[in-house]
Amino acid sequence: MQNAGIATLGLNWCYIAHEVHPDHLRDAIQGAKAMKYMGLNLTVPHKLLAMEMVDVLDESARIWGAVNTIRFEAQDLDGQWKPLVHFGDSIPEKIRTRGFNTDADAITRSLREDLGMNLAGAKVLLLGAGGAGRVAALKLAAEKVAELYLVNRTSSKAEIIAAEIKRLFPQIRVAVGYPAGSIDLVLNATSLGLRPGDASPLDEKKFSLRNASAAYDMIYRPAETPFLKAAKEAGCRVANGLGMLLYQGAKALEIWTGQKAPVEVMRAALVKNIYGN
């Protein structure tokens, strides 16, 4: 996805993957800085750890409490911090790191474009209270959903997020547990469904998918998890996490390059890589 976007923008860059143990994350970030990388993407479990490891937090990272994108910056002749792309081949030695979060906006953009969801005033059941679940919960509250129900295997984690939402967004009705009536959206932010034989993230003894209009699974491989299959059979509109993956990556590319990302080119590369078509 990123290399397709980079090529379309005509940049002599290469996007590569590194597997880094959490204990070595700080060293990895410093190493990328020393080698004058343009930027980094981070996935779990690094998104929360990086909050304490970057020099500056963008507002997006401060609001949503996680870093999934890092941009390396240097000072120009006027002392202004600029992305390294600004300096061409003459990158200064003094470089700093700025942490961003592109996940939150990607979630809501995917819900709007892939499911046609109007989140304002919606009733939402969110499954999962880990890092992804927390970001999703806060973003849904910021989008002014009417009611938000949080379910997690460890209910205390959901209760912490519910308390945070009540403090930041007092107008939102938030509760821990399953709703009693019908809702507009069930959103899976857990990892259940990634592996064959995983249990469902939803306890259908406590809530039936027939009472939901739409279902979204952040998992994108497999394309149809058992949760989405059940939701489709129950008559829900369904979408997986491919759109979220696409839009967070497109925003990261814009942060590094200062250019508009070629979203459709990136989408085609992503679909081909993940699903082989």
In this predicted model, what pLDDT tens digit does every residue of 170-218 receive, in sequence order?
Answer: 999 999 999 999 999 999 999 999 898 899 999 999 999 999 999 999 9
CA 245 distance to own-chain centroid: 7
* 246 within domain boundaries: no
Q: Is residue 191 part of a domain?
A: yes
Q: In this structure, are 224 and 166 located in the same domain?
A: yes
For residue 130, what pLDDT is reported? Answer: 87
3-state SS, residue 61: helix
Structural domain contains residue 88: yes
Q: Are residues 154 and 120 in the same domain?
A: yes
Q: 103, 109, 72: which is closest to 239 by C-alpha? A: 109
25 and 79 co-located in one domain: yes
26 with 48, same domain? yes
pLDDT in tens, 105-151: 999 999 999 999 999 999 999 999 988 899 999 999 999 999 999 99
Claim to verify: residue 223 and residue 134 sit in the same structural domain: yes
Same domain as 262, residue 159 = no
Task: Answer whether residue 211 is part of any domain.
Answer: yes
Tokens representing residue 112 in the block:
């709007």
Same domain, 95 and 154: no
Within-domain flag for 245: no
138 & 218 share domain: yes
| Helices and strands counted in the chain (H then E) | 10, 11
Q: What is the CATH number of the domain that holds 205?
A: 3.40.50.720
Q: Kindly state whether residues 191 and 271 are assigned to the same domain.
A: no
Catalytic residue selected from 33, 47, 205, 251: 47
Residue 24 belongs to some domain of the structure: yes
By three-state DSSP, how is residue 184 classified?
strand
What share of the chain in percent tops pLDDT 70? 100
Is 6 part of a structural domain of the chain?
Answer: yes
Say which residues have a Cβ less than 8 Å from residue 181's Cβ, sequence separation at least 6. Answer: 211
**Res. 277 pLDDT band, cuts 50 70 90:** low
**Residues with Cβ < 8 Å from 166, sequence gap 6 or more?**
172, 174
Domain that holds residue 149: 105-240
User: Which tens digits make up the pLDDT trace of 250-270?
Assistant: 999 999 999 999 999 999 999
The angle formed by the CA atoms of residues 29, 31 and 34, to the nearest 5 degrees, is 115
Q: Are residues 8 and 81 in the same domain?
A: yes
Q: Are residues 229 and 123 in the same domain?
A: yes
CA 245/CA 250 separation, integer angstroms: 9
pLDDT of residue 131: 84
Q: In what order do the strands lie in the sheet with 212-217?
A: 173-176, 147-151, 123-127, 183-188, 212-217, 237-239
* pTM of the predicted structure, to 2 decimals: 0.92
Give catalytic status of residue 205 as yes or no. Answer: no
Q: Note whether 205 and 112 are same-domain residues.
A: yes
- Total domains in the chain come to 2
Which DSSP letter does residue 150 get?
Answer: E
Give the chain's mean pLDDT: 96
Is residue 119 in a domain? Answer: yes
* Strand 147-151, strand 81-83: pairing: unpaired
